Structure 1
Amino acid sequence: MSDTSKPPYTQMPDSQPPKPGEVRKGRHRRWVVHSHEASRPSHTEAKSDINITPLIDVMLVLLIIFMVVTPLAQKGLDIGLPQADTKQQTPEQQSQSNQVVLGLEESAAGAIITVNKSPVSNLEELHTRLADIFQTKSDKTIFVKASGKVPYGKVVEAMDVARGAGVERIGIISEKMVQEAAGE
């Protein structure tokens, strides 16, 4: 240490630190602490950071609230829709409701092909029957309802014959759709 530097603390003149266990009467000691950091504030800048901790706290609370409320809010409104009266249909509406359904079911003898529930013996007869039906129809759509046991190749062959007979659009009727329609 040099002579110009101050020790971290100095005593007032004529003051000695007491020895352990010694009590001094009548004289008060003062110790002065010299610290450049404590006595002189450093150059302070304005704090420009945004404290996001409260924001995160609020967001977590909102997240928990939404997680609790969301399952409760998924309730629907039951409404009764009016049913259509099928007795008062015009002939045009009746012709539109007459859809052509190509059915394929598996039996011991092989695949049974039906057109609107009337059996067809082979693919050639299927072609002639579909050609007769779609010759006069403006809507050239057929619906295919195949049993799950029918091989895929047989279904594709029947769809190819239908395309050759003038069918432009083919729709598939699944067993689930039939069950839902029967339940209503």
Structure 2
Amino acid sequence: MPYSTVSAQRPNADINITPLVDVMLVLLIIFMVTMPVLSQRIRVDLPQTPPQPITVTPPEPIDLRIDGASQVFWNESPTPVAALQQMMQAEVQRDPANPPVLQIDSSDDAEYDVLAKVLAAARNADMQRIGFVQNAR
């Protein structure tokens, strides 16, 4: 056999990347089609600027303290947990456009159940501004 026919039967060592490019283009198209379907819109209500500035004095914040014995204090006066929702509703209804801030100071030793009841009462009373404070005692 001549040498030229033997070299013609040798395997080709070049890599064929055409199928790889085809697969990558198909995957790219699939991702481009499915991504808009998977994205979800989040509705954000941004505050609108009033036509002229209105100066409103904020009401005094409500200091709600829960001590180590799980006793609840409304502005330093002892209050039962069952009465909190009505008291919060009364505060919100004084000026619904400008509700007071509820500042909750809970002791590390207080029971979680009492704090959960306070937060549920605030939610049911439609308190919009709730903050947690940690006073050094």
Using structure 2 for the length normalisation, give the TM-score: 0.51
Selected match of 1:105 from 61, 64, 67: 67
Give 1:15's aligned residue. none
Q: Distance in 2 between matches of 1:139 and 1:129?
A: 13
Computed over aligned residues only, the root mean square deviation of the Cα atoms, in angstroms, reads 2.1
Q: 2:123 matched to 1:163?
A: yes
Q: Who is 2:74 aligned against? A: 115
Which deviations, in whole Å up to 9, do the C-alpha atoms of 1:35-94 show, x marking residues without a partner? xxxxxxxxxxxxxxxxxxxxxxxxxxxxxxxxxxxxxxxxxxxxxxxxxxxxxxxxx54x
Aligned-residue offset at 1:140 = 4.5
1:150 matched to 2:110:
yes
Structure 1 residue ranges, 4+ long, deviating more than 3 angstroms after superposition: none
Structure with higher Rg: it is 1
Partner Cα separation in structure 1 for residue 129 and residue 83 of structure 2: 20
Native 8 Å contact 1:101 1:116 kept in 2: yes
Residue identity matched to 1:144: I
Q: Tell me how far 1:142 sits from its aligned partner.
A: 1.0
Q: Which residue of the other structure, out of 80, 87, 92, is the alignment partner of 1:129?
A: 87
* Structure 2: runs of 5+ lacking an equivalent: 1-55
Q: Deviations over 1:135-163 (max 9, x none)?
A: 11313531111111002222121111111
Work out the number of aligned pairs and report it.
80
Distance 1:112 1:154 in 2: 9
In structure 1, stretches of 5+ residues that fail to align are 1-91
Aligned to 1:79: none
Residue number in structure 2 paired with 1:42 = none
Q: Is the 8 A contact 2:64 2:73 kept in 1?
A: yes
